[in-house]
Amino acid sequence: MKKWLLIIVTLTIGLIATGVIQATERNTEQPIKIGAFFALSGPASSIGTPTKLVAQMVVDKINKEGGINGRPLELVIGDTESDPTKALMVAKRLVEREKVVALIGPTRTDTGMAVKPYIEKKGIPTVMTVGGDPVIAGGKFGPYKWTFKAPQRTFVAVKKIYGYLQEQNMKKVAILHANDGFGRDGLRWLTRLAPEFGLKVVGVESFGVNDPDMTTQLVKLKNTGADVVICWTIGPAGAKVAKNYRQLDIKMPLFQCHGLPDPKYIELAGDAANGTIMPSTRLMVADQLRDDDPQKPVVQEFIRLYKEVYHYDKKYPINTHSGYAWDAIMLLTIAMKKAGTDRAAIRDELEKIKGYIGVSGIYNLTPEDHNGLGTDSLVLVKIVDGKWKLLEY
């Protein structure tokens, strides 16, 4: 009788123990959810869709290499439809229903500004992939305790161009900008930083990105006696400017902003693209990088995965923006490896990241600088015979 009881008790304890062990094992293997919301439809979808693909690619890579301290990452995807209101709804769904630990995205600056108050209030560490600075500018744009961003800030690109102009002993610049948020942000920094580099802004013109013709503005700038024209816009409008520039036979060099290095620019502008100079991430000139460039292996690995393993380049050829989702997730990964899944701890660790070598640059974050990229993250490229040429480091 006693023997039987002993056997039963042993068996029961054994069963419970294995159950507990299995349960804990499952717990350690439970994925860490990251919400990724981009413009998968609407006007910004040509940027948002490849961003999503890259995000998935880097998550696969991290999981193959063992995940975050043994736990895999899981991406929960949302579509902002390029719409600020939708973006906020998606962010709420990801945080409240999907219980994600952190967020990456959205794609556009105005969608980023729409979700920022919510993520700041809720305390969700978020690495944005938006172009504009206001999300991490502070001041009248609100606090940015929880908000980070992977792409270079506008003034970094402006400084890169201005540094080169100073070297070339250029004195007078003419500015042509899109009259949207992105273009005006560029104008603000271009005018503010000019004196620091001994430059004088001699003409400012603007255009709507859907305008069919910009020759009126360009002919005004042509007659200002400027040494260079700097154009600040993204998308097909930049190619239209280049074509009109060639049509008017303007001799001074044309600079475009860091948003335009994209094979599409050459495709749309054709021969008129030749001669344009722009600041770009190293992705556009990966084959021309110096061997001692610390980013070279990272950039090459990225391109290998993108082209040879995932074959994304057929539909979405690599452009200067391609790496931002990679860097956004890598930054979160670095923070989570140290902090686990506590949101406040992740946020604190994000601010402490120093010297992370990413695809888009080397990140050194501080509590004030939630981006961490300097002018060294950009190179100047020039289009020669329809090819991207590294002009200057």
Applying CB under 8 A, which residues contact another protein? 41, 43, 45-46, 49, 179, 205-208, 210-217, 219-220, 223, 235-236, 239-240, 243, 246-249, 264, 267-268, 270-272, 315
Least distance (Å) from another protein to the CB of residue 210? 4
Q: Which is closer to another protein, CB of 180 or CB of 392? A: 180
Amino acid present at 5: L
Least distance (Å) from another protein to the CB of residue 124? 28
Instruction: Report the distance separating Cα 269 and Cα 242, nearest Å.
Output: 6
Least distance (Å) from another protein to the CB of residue 44? 9
Least distance (Å) from another protein to the CB of residue 275? 14
- Facing residues of 178 across strands? 207
Q: Which is closer to another protein, CB of 173 or CB of 299? A: 173
Least distance (Å) from another protein to the CB of residue 269? 9
Q: Which is closer to another protein, CB of 132 or CB of 235? A: 235
Q: Which is closer to another protein, CB of 71 or CB of 243? A: 243
Tell me how far apart the terminal alpha carbons of the chain are, to the nearest angstrom.
Answer: 85
Least distance (Å) from another protein to the CB of residue 248? 5
Q: Which is closer to another protein, CB of 249 or CB of 368? A: 249
Q: Which is closer to another protein, CB of 72 or CB of 317? A: 317
Q: Which is closer to another protein, CB of 206 or CB of 375? A: 206
Least distance (Å) from another protein to the CB of residue 219? 4
Token pair, residue 60, equals 């696969």
